[in-house]
Structure 1
Amino acid sequence: MSQNHLSQWSHTLVLRAHCPTCFRCPPAPAKLTYMIALPVNLLNLLIAYSFKDVQQQKNTCRTVVSEDQSSGHLIYSIANKSDLTRKEREMWNISLQGLIHLGVIIIVDVLFHFMYILTIPTDIKLLKHLSDWALVGLAYVNLVYDWIKAAVMFGVINTVSTLDHLDPPKPPKCITMLYVFSETHFDRGINDWLCKYVYNYLGGKHENVVEELVATLCTYGVTILWLGPCEVVLFWAFFNCFGLNFELWTAKVFSMEPFASFEAAMSEAMSRRIRAIFNTFNFWCIVLYNLMALNSLDFVKLVTKRLLLKGFPITTVIVMFVTYCLIQVIKERERRQALIDDPDPLPPAPPLNAATPTCPPTAAPQAAADSSKEKAE
């Protein structure tokens, strides 16, 4: 590349970075993310395919950090591992994950030239001319894009870590699957650290209202310092802290009489329907609260006004009904996954010469039903 072309290319990048009103290009941080992730992912694929021909058993010297639970100190030990074997079809899965990340990067980069989801929310005058459906969809797509960006970045790093025989954290949970404040996290590593050393340490079993309030305040206080104190971060932390505590307050109220008796008399399906109604409003609270950190407070005010006031009743009812159906699907998927992860043990077969039982035979099915209902909740 000649010096003239190089200077022209760098000048184009500078213009794109200082072009906040141009609808043909996304903001510089988003573009920079994919410019960095694309070559890293290509290198990831090359490493994956080159490792297929390399001998998998090799002598390495690694530093293993193990925590002594009795004294609480870190013990550093050197371990020689010569049996670095891989599972069956593990390299195929690594290559497939790399191809998926590469495809997502290319698709998002192409869509940036047709869908201006990151630039439109900065123009309030343009937003006022959009319909209710377009505004609500724009708000939701902004969160989905932020999740895709986090999933790609963590996914590429996790794939490279897997190539080095490490066990990386799981990728961020999909934003569409979040309907309770206790699961709203993207970085699982930071979330696990906060839960271990701050939230669970101060909150205990998370049953006492005062302890829960202190734990959430300290947790979000550390998060504010980590993100950098500013107006948007303070609003975001306040509303998320309130939502987390409000969930506990609601659970405490409905565990009292007469609500506890009403729920005990309900079927499992009816109990899940009622919970899904409350989770529907919870879902949109999570969406609106997190939009503050991604866009601006004015954009969140406009979306809330259109969704709850100007769009009532048609837009509000339809959006809430679709969200309710979505949460029902999520709950059903979580119920099936819970049964797969922790299946109910089968009762032992009665002996052939056993005496007639004196207790009614409906006790075992009732216990199994209670167990399945508890898992569903």
Structure 2
Amino acid sequence: MGIKTALPAAELGLYSLVLSGALAYAGRGLLEASQDGAHRKAFRESVRPGWEYIGRKMDVADFEWVMWFTSFRNVIIFALSGHVLFAKLCTMVAPQLRSWMYAVYGALAVMGTMGPWYLLLLLGHCVGLYVASLLGQPWLCLGLGLASLASFKMDPLISWQSGFVAGTFDLQEVLFHGGSSFTVLRCTSFALESCAHPDRHYSLADLLKYNFYLPFFFFGPIMTFDRFHAQVSQVEPVRREGELWHIRAQAGLSVVAIMAVDIFFHFFYILTIPSDLKFANRLPDSALAGLAYSNLVYDWVKAAVLFGVVNTVACLDHLDPPQPPKCITALYVFAETHFDRGINDWLCKYVYNHIGGEHSTVIPELAATVATFAITTLWLGPCDIVYLWSFLNCFGSLLPAQPSLSGWGPFEHPQALQVHMS
């Protein structure tokens, strides 16, 4: 088994104090750099008007974040608020029908956002994997699921399928890839669970309720079908003591994180400064260190905000969703380097643990790890940089971290293959 060592409280406090001081010093350098570079010609494309009343422009280099919290913000708020409202009414009036309400509302929201042809395209993939599940062959379900996923990741099929989406708007491509890819993973989970439990007789309606749950539809996280079905099928769900307080706290943290990122984008330009290498080379070492640290943590903050918002809604619906990613700077052992915990659970359950068995011998462990990273490569979109990333991580993870420990390789637990899949 792996060994985790916790820092003593005194050392942890000292570490936090030193880190806070270093970040404050680096932040001062970044603030001065952003003030000096705000009017540079190289910054004009990615620094736009922002808080004009205090004379600060905004870093708009990350178009997704800007779209989510400017023009697309009202759509997100309207859609999720409608989901929460109808879910509450249905739970009060007819709790046995709440899973149907989730599916109908989600399907209508997807159709309103992406158009009816996109909805029909996804229904085609759902029906295909449902039919495969009726044959009871797990290898066929997994193979068809991977083929469906490949059709959204590789040309010419991806170009052909994207032609079914009518109209154009800024986040269309992001929503197309997100909704399609997560749909395939959910349908594959349904098919494999149906094969594993033929006595439960899951229907196509169960698959549609699972897939079109709106908070998870476009961006995840992934809940495996068995967990989702068990939780959403509770006729009279009961909240645990203190659960509402936890939901409020989670919602509050998401709001604070959104405000913090907005402040960063107006005062530090952490995404725009690296695009001008000539300017970045003139920065002091402390500012460069702060810039590198900020860019390292930013991806985690972005994912934490996204998952935090949808997880809050899911908790209001009496679900227990996968937790947000753990902060990169709080990772101490290899087994904790998870990013998207939902996809990690999916990979572990259907690929890594299925092939690797007890993870006690070399050949099954090698096959399980290679297969997992092969599917990860497909999920991220095959290209040279992804091939290189997968190769280095795959065979780097197979090197024994502690040869004296029992087992083989660095994994502390069968569930501990953690894959960064942002």
* In the alignment, structure 1 residue 224 sits paired with structure 2 residue 377: yes
Instruction: Please state how far the C-alpha of 1:232 moved relative to its aligned partner.
Output: 2.5
- Equivalent residues of 1:198, 1:219 under 8 A apart: yes
Q: Which of 32, 45, 50 is equivalent to 1:19?
A: 45
Q: Alignment identity in percent? A: 44
Q: Equivalents in 1 of 2:375, 2:258: separation in Å?
A: 32
| Alignment CA distance shift 1:96-1:135 (3 Å) | same
* 1:260 equivalent in structure 2: none
Higher RCO (C-alpha under 8 Å, 6+ residues apart): 2
| Alignment CA distance shift 1:228-1:54 (3 Å) | closer
- Equivalent residues of 1:49, 1:95 under 8 A apart: no
* 2:401 equivalent in structure 1: 250
Instruction: Please state how far the C-alpha of 1:141 moved relative to its aligned partner.
Output: 1.8
* 1:173 equivalent in structure 2: 326
| Alignment CA distance shift 1:243-1:139 (3 Å) | farther
Counterparts of 1:103-252 in structure 2, within 5 Å, are 103-246=256-399, 249-252=400-403
| Alignment CA distance shift 1:109-1:179 (3 Å) | same
Q: Equivalents in 1 of 2:285, 2:360: separation in Å?
A: 40
Instruction: Please state how far the C-alpha of 1:165 moved relative to its aligned partner.
Output: 1.7
Q: Equivalents in 1 of 2:86, 2:243: separation in Å?
A: 14
Q: Which of 88, 97, 110 is equivalent to 1:61?
A: 97
The alignment of Structure 1 onto Structure 2 pairs a total of residues equal to: 243
1:260-317 deviation digits (Å, cap 9, x = unpaired): xxxxxxxxxxxxxxx9xxxxxxxxxx9xx98xx99xxxxxxxxxxxxxxxxxxxxxxx
Q: Equivalents in 2 of 1:188, 1:242: separation in Å?
A: 21
* Matching residue's letter, 2:59: C
| Alignment CA distance shift 1:245-1:88 (3 Å) | same
3-state SS, counterpart of residue 60 of structure 1 = helix
| Alignment CA distance shift 1:53-1:255 (3 Å) | closer
Q: Equivalents in 2 of 1:126, 1:102: separation in Å?
A: 33
Q: Equivalents in 2 of 1:96, 1:48: separation in Å?
A: 17
Gap regions ≥5 residues in structure 2: 1-43, 49-56, 101-189, 207-231, 411-417
Q: Equivalents in 1 of 2:300, 2:347: separation in Å?
A: 20
Counterparts of 1:186-335 in structure 2, within 5 Å, are 186-246=339-399, 249-252=400-403, 254-255=404-405
Instruction: Please state how far the C-alpha of 1:135 moved relative to its aligned partner.
Output: 2.9
Q: Equivalents in 2 of 1:93, 1:48: separation in Å?
A: 17
Q: Which of 25, 46, 66 is equivalent to 1:31?
A: 66
TM-score where L is the length of structure 2: 0.48
* In the alignment, structure 1 residue 76 sits paired with structure 2 residue 202: yes
* Matching residue's letter, 1:19: E
3-state SS, counterpart of residue 64 of structure 2 = helix
1:221-253 deviation digits (Å, cap 9, x = unpaired): 11111111223322322222233112xx2322x
Aligned alpha-carbon RMSD (Å): 4.1
Gap regions ≥5 residues in structure 1: 1-17, 257-274, 276-285, 295-377
* Matching residue's letter, 1:135: L
Q: Equivalents in 1 of 2:85, 2:98: separation in Å?
A: 24
